[in-house]
Amino acid sequence: GAVVSQHPSWVICKSGTSVKIECRSLDFQATTMFWYRQFPKKSLMLMATSNEGSKATYEQGVEKDKFLINHASLTLSTLTVTSAHPEDSSFYICSAPAGITNYGYTFGSGTRLTVV
Amino acid sequence: GESVGLHLPTLSVQEGDNSIINCAYSNSASDYFIWYKQESGKGPQFIIDIRSNMDKRQGQRVTVLLNKTVKHLSLQIAATQPGDSAVYFCAENRDSGNTPLVFGKGTRLSVIA
């Protein structure tokens, strides 16, 4: 139980275009979703926290107008990278508190974004 | 926070040996800790967790030790297998539930067959 499905698993896009990444909670309601970014050989860095029905909270240094987060339902949170540039190429991962003992947080499988 | 520019430290062990991966955490108020395994191109996979009211917890082939005095966490893997090769991250959290996990720098474990 407590599965988060993340799509796409990888995407290649041209500079200047926008890319949407979706995370769906399959068997539980995710009122909160955390979005992380991971550069090669580095750790996961929190970008923002989305809450269903309200505005996302962004970490310092993360441009909210560039990384648009929508959490319109209890089972879907999306991250849109707008006007993508090569430096946005990274691995993006979502995570939700699953509220289950020993598995307090569940992670999506990640999205590899390559901007060319 | 994460130090920009540092590469992941690597631990190489022989198959069958025990592995010990260490992690220092920064927030003395953290009360929940998790170890994750991450294989290339995949999301983090839960290994084991521990709460601050404990100093040791055992799972199958894995043990987590918590030393709150020096803010140190370790993961011990017994009889390391080639399938254990991955990057391991510790993560900490305060008020577990709706606050995000903060990840450590990570350690790459390479198992030599």
The distance of A103 to chain B (nearest Cα, Å) reads 7
Distance from CA of A15 to the nearest CA of B (A): 22
What residues in B contact A112, CB-CB < 8 Å?
41
A36 to chain B: which residues are within 8 Å by CB? Answer: 103
d(CA A27, CA A77): 14
pLDDT at A67: 97
Contact at 8 Å (CB) between B17 and B78? Answer: no
Q: Enter the tokens of residue A113.
A: 């974004």
Q: What is the structure's pLDDT at A98?
A: 78
Mutate to test the interface with A, among B25, B31, B101, B107 (most CBs of A within 10 A): B101
Residues of B with CB under 8 A from a CB of A: 2, 7-8, 32, 34, 41-46, 49, 89, 93, 96-98, 100-106
**pLDDT tens column, B13-56:** 999 999 999 999 988 889 899 999 999 999 999 999 999 999 99
Mapping DSSP to helix (H, G, I), strand (E, B) and coil, where does residue A9 land?
coil
Q: Residue A34: which pLDDT band, with cuts at 50, 70 and 90?
A: very high
Q: Which two tokens stand for residue B105?
A: 């720098």
CA distance B61 to chain A (A): 16
What would you report as the CA-atom Rg of chain A, rounded to the nearest whole angstrom? 13
The pLDDT-based confidence of B94 (bands split at 50, 70, 90) is confident
DSSP assignments along B61-109, one per residue: SEEEEEETTTTEEEEEESS--GGG-EEEEEEEESSTTSS--EE---EEE
Number of inter-chain CB pairs under 8 A, A vs B: 56
| Predicted confidence (pLDDT) per residue in A54-112, tens digit | 899 999 999 999 999 999 899 999 999 999 999 999 999 999 987 655 557 899 999 99
